């Protein structure tokens, strides 16, 4: 979860700079006019970073709070809860939509369903009960079809759903009794 959050933040930073990165960091964090603001319950005032940068550290143990360090002679740091931290200790049994499983196969549909946040092969194997080799093989096929993308995070490769997979999942989960968008 932490690696997935770091990957997500790096992608946002590359797409739109610090302003884009801070949009979904936490409601108490905002960027405006070249200034990063962090609301704290006790304390206030501004701190200059003095060109030292800001170290962002996702931590499952700070939720639901934020912690910042801006004391002299230390790296300015912001510790924040990563995306999805509230679900960290939940045991999830997620079944893919039957229509999607009929088209892709149950294992591939399940892997796409599990990739709501980037994950490594071993993590997907643990969550789905599919062998690591099987997961790797399925991810390779999904990647070749443009449904999954991969990015290296340290020693691991994290897989995430591509936009095409999001469209497939949304279409498959739509209520079959409800009329869809008009088609030409």
For residue 43, pLDDT beyond 80: no
Give me 60's structure tokens: 């499952």
Q: What percentage of the chain has pLDDT greater than the value 90?
A: 19
Backbone angles phi, psi at 115, to 5 degrees: -85, 40
Q: Is residue 138 pLDDT above 90, yes or no?
A: yes
Rounded to whole angstroms, the Cα distance separating 184 from 179 reads 14
Statement: residue 69 has pLDDT above 50: yes
Higher pLDDT, 74 or 138: 138
Task: Give the model's pLDDT for residue 171.
Answer: 84
Residue 86: per-residue pLDDT: 67
pTM of whole model > 0.75? no
Judge whether 4 and 83 are in contact, CB under 8 Å: yes
The pLDDT value recorded for residue 179 is: 45
Residue 182 has pLDDT above 70, yes or no: no
CA-nearest of 60, 62, 56, 59 to 76 is 56
Whether pLDDT at 184 is above 50: no
Contact 165, 112 (CB under 8 A): yes
- Res. 133: pLDDT tops 90: yes
Is residue 125 very low, low, confident or very high in pLDDT (cuts 50, 70, 90)?
A: very high
Q: Is the peptide bond before 2 cis (omega within 30 degrees of 0)?
A: no
């Amino acid at each position: 979860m932490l690696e997935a959050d770091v990957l997500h933040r790096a992608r946002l930073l590359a797409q739109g700079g610090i302003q884009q990165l801070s949009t979904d960091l936490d409601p108490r964090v905002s960027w405006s006019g070249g200034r990063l603001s962090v609301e704290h319950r006790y304390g206030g005032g501004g701190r200059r970073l003095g060109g030292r940068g800001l170290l962002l550290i996702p931590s499952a143990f700070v939720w639901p709070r934020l912690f910042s360090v801006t004391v002299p002679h230390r790296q300015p740091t912001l510790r924040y809860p990563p995306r999805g931290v509230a679900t960290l200790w939940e045991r999830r049994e997620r079944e893919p939509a039957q229509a999607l499983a009929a088209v892709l196969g149950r294992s591939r549909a399940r892997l796409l369903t599990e990739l709501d946040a980037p994950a490594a092969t071993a993590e997907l194997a643990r969550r789905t009960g599919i062998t690591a080799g099987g997961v790797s093989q399925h991810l390779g096929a999904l990647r070749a079809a443009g449904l999954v993308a991969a990015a290296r995070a340290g020693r691991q490769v994290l897989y995430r759903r591509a936009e095409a997979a999001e469209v497939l999942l949304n279409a498959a989960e739509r209520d079959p009794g409800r009329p869809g968008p008009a088609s030409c």
